[in-house]
């Protein structure tokens, strides 16, 4: 238990579906992140929120839409995805940024399969 | 470009010692992390190095040489539960976290 909870853990969706991934952190952190993890590839940072404000969007396609209603919750809205979007999506949080070596706390991830 | 290199997979024997290397070429350096990720689970923090030298934490130690762009994670007295992927990540000059692809460590009895 890392203090970061993600739901659902597994999701299978068609290319025309709309679904959402949810993340909740119980650590009082002010920064939250979405990462994509594909097999044998480095973690890809997708979005960063600091105090509910989006501070980074790493050229992510618009079919991925993040939402951060408060410092404890983060959503990733998915629509018209492609099969290559199938991956593990990890949510993470930190207190402050990583620049001072602050530990990143990850959720267990949502396994997404696009069919 | 920025690059983190780690071996894709390593195999070691229970009770032995294994060293997982990480070399990096990044625009600047502001620290290096090691994370452990068991299959199907969240990555969890192992160590953070910002100065040269060896940091020991129980059975795990992490070493950094900034001049060589090199770090290693040393695992002693290996246990079956150490079977996992080990991720190296570097903070660059823009305070962006650059991740390696991870090293899958397989422990055999």
Confidence (pLDDT) at A42: 93
CA distance A46 to chain B (A): 12
Q: Which residue does chain A place closest to B101, by CA atoms?
A: A42
pLDDT at B96 over 90: no
Cα–Cα separations (whole angstroms), residue A101 to A48, A64, A78: 17, 28, 31
Which pair of tokens denotes residue A16?
A: 């025309």
Give the pLDDT band of residue A102 (cuts 50, 70, 90): confident
Beta bridge partners of B89: B33, B99
User: Which chain B residues contact residue A103 at CB under 8 A?
Assistant: 45, 48
pLDDT at A99 over 90: no
pLDDT digits (tens, 9 = 90+) for A79-91: 999 999 999 999 9
pLDDT at A51 over 90: no
What is the percent of chain B with per-residue pLDDT over 70, rounded to a whole number? 100
Residues near A62 by beta carbon (within 8 Å), at least 6 away in sequence: none
């Amino acid at each position: 238990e890392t203090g970061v909870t993600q739901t659902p853990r597994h999701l299978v969706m068609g290319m025309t579906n709309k679904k959402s991934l949810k993340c909740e952190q119980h650590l009082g952190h002010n920064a939250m992140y979405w990462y994509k993890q594909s097999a044998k590839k480095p973690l890809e940072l997708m979005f960063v929120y600091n105090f509910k404000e989006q501070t980074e969007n790493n050229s992510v396609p618009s079919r991925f839409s993040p939402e951060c209603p408060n410092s404890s919750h983060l959503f990733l809205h998915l629509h018209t995805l492609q099969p290559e979007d199938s991956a593990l999506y990890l949510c993470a949080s930190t207190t402050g940024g990583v620049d001072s070596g602050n530990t990143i706390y990850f959720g267990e991830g949502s396994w997404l399969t696009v069919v | 470009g920025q690059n983190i290199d780690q071996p894709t997979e390593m195999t070691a024997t229970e009770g032995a010692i294994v060293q997982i290397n990480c070399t990096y070429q990044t625009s600047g350096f502001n620290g290096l992390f090691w994370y452990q990720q068991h299959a199907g689970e969240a990555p969890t923090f192992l160590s953070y190095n910002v100065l040269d030298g060896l940091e020991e934490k129980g059975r795990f130690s992490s070493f950094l040489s900034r001049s060589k762009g090199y770090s290693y994670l040393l695992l002693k007295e290996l246990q079956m539960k150490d079977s996992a992927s080990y991720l190296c990540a570097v903070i660059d000059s823009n305070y962006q976290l650059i991740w390696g692809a991870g090293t899958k460590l397989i422990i055999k009895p």
